[in-house]
């Protein structure tokens, strides 16, 4: 592995994402990506007594389904790296306790999926691990009660707000060469940026500068440009955030053409009342696992940049008058 | 460019970019929903009065409040109220229905944390500020009224 420029790391050996699996809730299943989401559950409590328990069960089910379907022995996995958006990372922590393998919990809000994949690939390329399990998840109802209001409380959502995705995505990262599976080629760890956005509902505006900052550093470090990639996917900027992201890049003379998508923007329909689109750690995790990963396996996409974006918000600091810091970690994939 | 100037410019730009809630249709829907709730209250009052012609207005008013609160709590429990509120906005929130919903929704939500630290502690999580403000301002008005009545 070598470091390029300030923030980017290039893998010396092939680091492959051998498997990826997604499990989503019914609202996501009814969205535009329906045919890609094969596994879903109808009841948002997943048969549990609380939404926190439901999120945990969803994550556990996603991981065990992936291990079972591909006949992977849990003892062959060296490390589990995962994150979610609940306080104390309860979902990942509780699932890690059940899995009984070494665990590194990561928090970068909705950027957890690329943070864990980036850390996994550096650990593997550094020769420390052979096989790592990564995951990220979120649950609408659990996030709502932690960050906003009770579910049955009657209020109107702002036109620029987003909807937390109910879903869990998990991946297995391996040290091996594979013809069929996408490889992680380079990773770029983002800086935390704060542009003074105070409004907890406007996460797209808080996160767009972070994504722009990371991708610009990446282009500088690797001397590449947007047209070198088949697809550039941001995590959960939503419609508004994506527009701001494009605007910031345009101001810096970087033009992104039609090879750009935002996972949050594409996961819901306009008539699902999700305003600007999806958000949450599960958003980019499930869109990557179920859609981008599969397209790469079918060789429909060759070179992809995935930038999950995290609004590192805390209701406590926000009430004390602090803005929402944001971060975005990038991974470059090659089929 | 320093950071505070950069952020100020950015926030102005965001403000311009962010879609606004459609205020005219929101106002209209709030008017319809709020009006419907008030007409409904009036109807209950009229029905009670026709059954108990001797009942004084204050008592009738109390029964109207109780009915609206009870109905709101039932609608909240069945998951209907938040759908109405999404449509009506302030029209459902400003009448006593909004207050009842804010308490009932918290009670339902935090029941999972138990009766003492869940329902007991968090039932007034949304309604609490309303009560504190209500009590504080009525005290203030009371003091002003007292001072004026001295002269």
Q: Which helix (H) or strand (E) holds A8?
A: strand A8-10
The whole-number pLDDT of residue A167 equals 96
From A150's Cα to the closest Cα of chain B, the distance in A is: 6
Residue B22 has pLDDT above 90, yes or no: no
B92 within some domain = yes
Taken in order A125, A126, A130, A134, the sign of the CA dihedral is negative
Segments of chain A scoring below 70 in pLDDT: none
**B1, pLDDT greater than 80:** no
State which residue of chain A sits closest to B75, comparing Cα positions: A152
CA distances from A94 to A59, A86, A99 (A): 10, 12, 9
User: In angstroms, rounded to a whole number, what is the distance separating the alpha carbons of residues A278 and A108?
Assistant: 17
At what angle are helices A140-147 and A51-69 packed, to 10 degrees?
A: 140
Domain presence at residue B6: no
C-alpha distances out from residue A1 to A9, A10, A121, Å: 7, 6, 10
**Is B146 within a domain?**
yes
User: Is residue B1 assigned to a domain?
Assistant: no
Q: Check if B14 contacts A (Cβ < 8 Å).
A: yes
Mean pLDDT of B128-150: 95
* Residue B143 included in any domain: yes
- Distance from the Cα of A162 to chain B's closest Cα (Å) equals 12
pLDDT computed for residue B35 by the predictor: 94
Supply the range of the domain harboring residue B57.
24-150
What integer is the mean pLDDT of B55-65?
Answer: 93
Which CATH number does the domain housing residue A205 bear?
3.40.47.40
pLDDT for res A239 = 94
Rg (CA), chain B: 21
Q: What's the pLDDT score for residue A10?
A: 96
Total domain count for chain A?
1
Q: What is the pLDDT of residue A213?
A: 96
ipTM score of the complex? 0.88
Which residues span the domain enclosing A22? Answer: 1-335
3-state secondary structure of A134: strand
pLDDT for the residue numbered A270: 85
In a domain, B60, yes or no: yes
Structure tokens at B14: 């965001």
- Is residue B29 pLDDT above 90, yes or no? yes
Put simply, the answer to whether B18 touches A152 (Cβ < 8 Å) is no
Q: Does B99 reach chain A within 8 Å, measured CB to CB?
A: no
What are A200-231's pLDDT values in tens digits? Answer: 999 999 999 999 999 999 999 999 999 999 99
Q: Please tell me the predicted confidence (pLDDT) of residue A273.
A: 87
Domains: count for chain B? 1
- pLDDT single digits (tens) B74-101: 999 999 999 999 999 889 888 899 999 9
Contact call for B11 and A195, based on CB within 8 A: yes
Chain B contact probe: residue of A142, A147, A155 with most B CBs at under 10 A: A155
pLDDT value, residue A186: 96
pLDDT at B94: 86
Tokens 């594409």 found at: A266
Residue at B73 is within a domain: yes
Angle in degrees, CA A223, A255, A225, rounded to 5: 15
Residues A258/A286, Cβ–Cβ less than 8 Å? no
Which residues of chain A neighbour B112 with C-beta distances below 8 Å? 49-50
Distance of CA A163 to the CA centre of its chain: 15
CB atoms within 10 A of CB B17: 17
Among chain A residues, CA nearest to B86: A156
């Amino acid at each position: 592995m070598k470091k390029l420029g300030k923030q980017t790391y290039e893998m010396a050996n092939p680091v492959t994402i051998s498997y990826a699996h997604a499990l989503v809730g019914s609202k996501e299943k009814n969205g535009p990506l329906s045919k890609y989401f094969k596994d879903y559950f109808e009841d948002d409590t997943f048969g549990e007594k609380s939404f926190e328990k439901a999120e945990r069960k969803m994550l556990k089910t996603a991981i065990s389904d992936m291990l079972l379907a591909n006949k992977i022995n849990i003892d062959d996995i060296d490390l589990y790296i995962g994150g979610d958006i609940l306080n104390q990372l309860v979902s990942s922590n509780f699932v890690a306790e059940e899995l009984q393998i070494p665990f590194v919990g990561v928090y970068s809000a909705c950027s957890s999926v690329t943070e864990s994949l980036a850390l996994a690939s550096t650990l593997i390329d550094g020769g420390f691990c052979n096989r790592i399990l990564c995951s990220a998840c979120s649950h609408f109802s659990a996030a709502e009660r932690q960050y906003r209001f009770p579910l049955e409380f009657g209020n109107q959502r702002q036109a620029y707000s987003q909807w937390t995705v109910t879903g869990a995505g998990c991946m297995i990262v391996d040290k091996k060469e594979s013809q069929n599976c996408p490889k992680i080629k380079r990773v770029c760890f983002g800086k935390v940026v704060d542009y003074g956005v105070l409004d907890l509902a406007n996460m797209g505006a808080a996160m767009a500068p972070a994504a722009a900052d990371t991708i610009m550093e990446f282009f500088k470090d690797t001397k590449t440009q947007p047209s070198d990639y088949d697809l550039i996917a941001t995590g959960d900027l939503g419609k508004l955030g994506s527009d701001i992201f494009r605007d910031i890049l345009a101001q810096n003379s970087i033009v992104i053409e039609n090879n750009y998508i935002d996972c949050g923007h594409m996961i819901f329909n306009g008539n699902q009342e999700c305003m600007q689109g999806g958000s949450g750690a599960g958003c980019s995790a499930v869109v990557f696992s179920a859609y981008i990963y599969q397209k790469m396996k079918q060789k429909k996409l060759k070179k992809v940049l995935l930038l999950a974006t995290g609004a590192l918000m805390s209701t406590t600091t926000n009430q004390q008058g602090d803005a929402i810091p944001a971060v975005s970690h990038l991974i470059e994939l090659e089929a | 460019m320093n950071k505070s100037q950069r952020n100020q410019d950015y926030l102005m730009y965001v403000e311009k970019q962010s879609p606004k809630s459609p205020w005219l249709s929101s106002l209209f829907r709030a008017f319809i929903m709020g009006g419907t709730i008030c007409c409904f209250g009036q109807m209950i009052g009229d029905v009670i009065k026709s059954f108990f012609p001797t009942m004084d207005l204050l008592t009738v008013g109390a029964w109207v409040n109780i009915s609206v609160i009870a109905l709101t709590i039932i609608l909240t429990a069945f998951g209907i109220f938040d759908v109405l509120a999404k449509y009506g906005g302030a029209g459902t929130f400003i009448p006593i229905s909004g207050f009842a919903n804010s308490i009932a929704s918290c009670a339902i939500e935090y029941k999972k944390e138990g009766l003492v630290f869940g329902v007991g502690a968090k039932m007034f999580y949304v309604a609490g500020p309303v009560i504190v403000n209500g009590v504080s301002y009525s005290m203030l008005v009371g003091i002003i009224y007292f001072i004026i009545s001295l002269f």
